[in-house]
């Protein structure tokens, strides 16, 4: 987002990208054996050391909370250890980043998402408001062709979306009956997925393969939407398959450039007047902590030991419902609907923070997944189940926010080095009582919805209580007014060095009550880019 804004304004930009370029025409979804093919974004074994991260000791699980553990009817327990699964971060290194595999969700955080402390007494207030981001939200929605329904009673009033909302799939319409019975409001999701043509890109064909890479280019991932336009200006040089490992300083204490390794481990230096770090909540603090110097012996921007702290992971719970009649859950969009009834804390809750509920096909896109995770037995009984039940399973899920805590953090592993000999990030994260209460609430809600919708049975549960699938990570270089408790200011500019910016999810203060972070990441980056350009023109950065 920053690359696009800066290039369109006439600035010269060099992008150092850790991964390759991907060609949508070569995504595996059109192959007959697509389920047996590795994901287009998988990490080959020989590349493994380039993607390393480690973790601290995993927390013990409470036997009294066994009802929160993950299982399926076909496989039994999905995690049998007495301790929680080690952190598993869902990410893509490549041109376009995690937008390559995200499901297109494009949510504006609600106003209370920026003021949770002053309004509800938890977390911490952001140094900006919903109103500050509103014009940037609107601009990005136009650029990406976001489709949605503006009539959401749980969100701030707004004008129409650029595109009409996608119709709910057959499966979502079926599950909606359960939401309706319980007085909940399942609404069309706002998605950066085209519902009508935009420029040279066609609308969605509802193949349900969003996270596998969109061959249609209907999903507005950065590689097919804004990056080509930025490169067309002639002012952008994008260098893929390189590893940035240190930000360098000049004699005046300002950033002077970035040291990086190419694919052959050869070190290069890219000079720069301004450095923007946008490597995500895991790799951004790693880069800053590895950028040690005489002025910053504990890492760049880490004068007060805040870099890497307040890490927030993804709190999720998912109930797998099986219906007796065909609901064709393999058709449609992966998350075409959400319910925001609990996005703001409600009276009587036993936990702090917001939760958003929804419907998703999840991994149940083809027969292999059903055979492996859903269908019991062997031989004829297995085949009979597949013939009668394929396409009848659906996920009713909840996503909640992980409260920021200083002891949940990213540090550098003193013993483990990556392919380039650079210390890797080490993640330490635990779930507090608040998150466990939230998971229990989501489990009760999702099961009740499935039962109210007339599901034949609940055939499984996946939960962050014992599993890990971190996709909404944030907070490790958070913004704030006090340099002793934050890394960047409201414009994503580091407190310590005026010409270093952090424009990614690590700047988050809280998680917006369970909303997807992508649109807010982009809005913050666009706002920060405007500020950067103004300051650069005034000579305030060098």
Residue 539: the pLDDT is: 86
Q: pLDDT (tens digit, 9 = 90+) per residue, 42-59? A: 998 989 999 999 999 999
Three-point CA angle 223, 225, 226, nearest 5°: 85
Backbone angles phi, psi at 492, to 5 degrees: 65, 20
Map out the domains of the chain with their CATH numbers.
2-189+208-536 (3.50.50.60)
Q: What is the mean pLDDT of the chain?
A: 96
Rounded Cα distance between 462 and 517, Å, is 21
CA distance 278 to 17: 10
Q: What CA–CA distance (Å, rounded) separates 155 from 339?
A: 11
**Measured between alpha carbons, how far is 253 from 498 in angstroms, rounded to an integer?**
10
Q: Which two tokens stand for residue 185?
A: 């409001």
Give which of 139, 225, 206 is closest to 167, Cα–Cα: 206
Task: Average the pLDDT over 266-285 and give the result.
Answer: 98
Q: CA–CA separation, 136 vs 143, rounded Å? A: 11
Contact (CB, 8 A) for 18 and 243? yes
Under the banding of pLDDT at 50, 70 and 90, the label for residue 541 is confident
Distances in Å between the Cα of 110 and the Cα atoms of 114, 133, 399, 474 are 8, 11, 15, 17
pTM over the 0.85 mark = yes
pLDDT at 377: 84
Average pLDDT over residues 230-247: 98
Residue 366 CA to residue 372 CA, distance in Å, equals 11
Exposed e or buried b per residue across 508-540, where buried means at least 16 C-beta atoms within 10 angstroms of its C-beta = bbbbbbbbbbbbbbbbbbbbbbbbbbebbeeee
Q: What is the mean pLDDT of residues 109-125?
A: 96
Distance of alpha carbon 453 from alpha carbon 337, whole angstroms: 15
φ, ψ at 470 (rounded to 5°): -85, 105
**Could you read off the pLDDT of 1-22 as tens digits, one per residue?**
999 999 999 999 999 999 999 9
State how far the Cα of 104 lies from the Cα of 221, in Å rounded to an integer.
Answer: 8
Tell me how far the alpha carbon of residue 402 is from its chain's centroid: 13
Amino acid 217: pLDDT? 97
Q: What is the pLDDT of residue 210?
A: 94
Does residue 542 carry a pLDDT above 90?
no
Q: Find all residues with CB under 8 Å of 166, minimum gap 6, and list them.
A: 147, 188, 189, 191, 193, 195, 204, 333, 336
Distance CA 240, CA 262 (A): 9
* 32: Cβ contacts below 8 Å, ≥ 6 apart: none
Q: How far, in Å, are 211, 332, 355, 448 from residue 321 at the CA level?
A: 21, 17, 20, 11
Residue pair 110/130 in contact by the 8 Å Cβ criterion = yes
Give 464-493 pLDDT, tens digit per residue. Answer: 999 999 999 999 999 999 999 999 999 999
In this prediction, residue 143 has a pLDDT band, given cuts at 50, 70 and 90, of very high
pLDDT digits over 374-408, tens only?
888 889 999 999 999 999 999 999 999 999 999 99
Say if residue 325 is exposed, middle or buried (CB neighbours under 10 Å; 0-12, 13-18, 19+). Answer: exposed
Lowest mean pLDDT among 166-170, 285-289, 359-363: 359-363
pLDDT above 70 covers a percentage of the chain that reads 100
Q: What is the DSSP letter of 66?
A: G
Res 362: pLDDT: 84
Across 97-107, b (16+ Cβ under 10 Å) vs e yields: bbbbbbbbbbb
For the stretch 68-110, pLDDT in tens is 999 998 899 999 999 999 999 999 999 999 999 999 999 999 9
For the chain, helix, strand, coil in percent to 5 are 30, 20, 50
Tens digits of residue pLDDT in 314-361: 999 999 999 999 999 999 999 999 999 999 998 889 999 999 999 998
């Amino acid at each position: 987002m920053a690359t696009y804004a800066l290039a369109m304004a006439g600035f010269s930009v060099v992008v150092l990208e850790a991964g390759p370029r991907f060609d949508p025409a070569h995504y595996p979804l059109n192959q007959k054996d697509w389920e047996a093919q590795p994901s287009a974004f998988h990490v080959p074994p020989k590349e493994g050391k380039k993607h390393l991260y480690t973790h601290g000791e995993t927390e013990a699980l409470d036997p009294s909370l066994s009802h929160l553990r993950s299982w399926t009817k076909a496989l039994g327990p999905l995690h049998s250890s007495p301790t929680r699964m080690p952190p598993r971060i869902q990410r893509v290194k490549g041109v376009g980043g995690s937008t390559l595999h995200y499901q297109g969700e494009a949510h504006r955080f609600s106003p209370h998402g920026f003021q949770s402390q002053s309004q509800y007494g938890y977390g911490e207030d952001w140094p900006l408001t919903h109103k500050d981001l509103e014009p940037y939200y609107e601009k990005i929605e136009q650029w990406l062709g976001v489709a949605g329904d503006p009539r959401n009673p749980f969100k701030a009033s707004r004008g129409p979306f650029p595109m009409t909302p996608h119709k709910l799939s057959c499966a979502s319409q079926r599950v909606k009956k359960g939401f309706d019975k319980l007085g909940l409001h399942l609404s069309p999701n706002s998605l950066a997925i085209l519902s009508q043509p935009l420029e040279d890109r066609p609308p969605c064909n509802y193949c349900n393969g969003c996270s596998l890479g969109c061959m249609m280019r209907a999903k507005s991932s950065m590689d097919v939407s804004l990056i080509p336009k930025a490169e067309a200006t002639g002012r952008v040089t994008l260098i893929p398959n390189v590893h940035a490992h240190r930000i360098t300083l000049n004699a005046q204490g300002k950033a002077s450039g970035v040291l990086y390794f190419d694919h052959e481990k050869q070190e290069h230096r890219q000079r720069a007047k301004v450095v923007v770090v946008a490597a995500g909540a895991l790799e951004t603090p790693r880069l800053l902590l590895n950028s040690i110097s005489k002025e910053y012996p504990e890492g760049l921007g880490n004068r007060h030991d805040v870099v890497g702290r307040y890490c927030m992971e993804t709190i999720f719970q998912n109930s797998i419902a099986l219906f007796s009649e065909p609901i064709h859950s393999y058709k449609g969009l992966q998350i075409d609907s959400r319910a925001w009834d609990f996005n703001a804390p409600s009276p009587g809750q036993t936990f702090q923070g917001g939760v958003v509920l929804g419907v998703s096909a999840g991994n149940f896109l083809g027969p292999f997944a059903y055979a492996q995770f859903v269908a019991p037995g062997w031989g004829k009984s297995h085949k009979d189940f597949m013939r009668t039940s394929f396409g009848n399973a659906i996920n009713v899920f909840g996503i909640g926010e992980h409260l920021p805590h200083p002891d949940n953090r990213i540090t550098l592993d003193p013993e483990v080095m990556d392919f380039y000999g650079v210390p890797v990030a080490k993640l330490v994260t635990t779930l507090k009582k608040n998150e466990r209460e939230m998971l229990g609430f989501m489990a009760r809600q999702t099961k009740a919805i499935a039962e109210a919708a007339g599901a034949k049975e609940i055939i499984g549960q996946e939960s962050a209580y014992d599993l890990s699938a971190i996709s909404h990570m944030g907070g490790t270089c958070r913004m704030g007014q006090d340099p002793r408790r934050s890394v960047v200011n409201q414009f994503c500019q580091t407190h310590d060095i005026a010409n270093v910016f952090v424009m990614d999810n690590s700047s988050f203060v809280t998680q917006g009550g369970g909303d997807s972070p992508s649109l807010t990441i982009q809005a913050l980056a666009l706002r920060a880019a405007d500020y950067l350009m103004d300051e650069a023109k005034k000579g305030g950065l060098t």
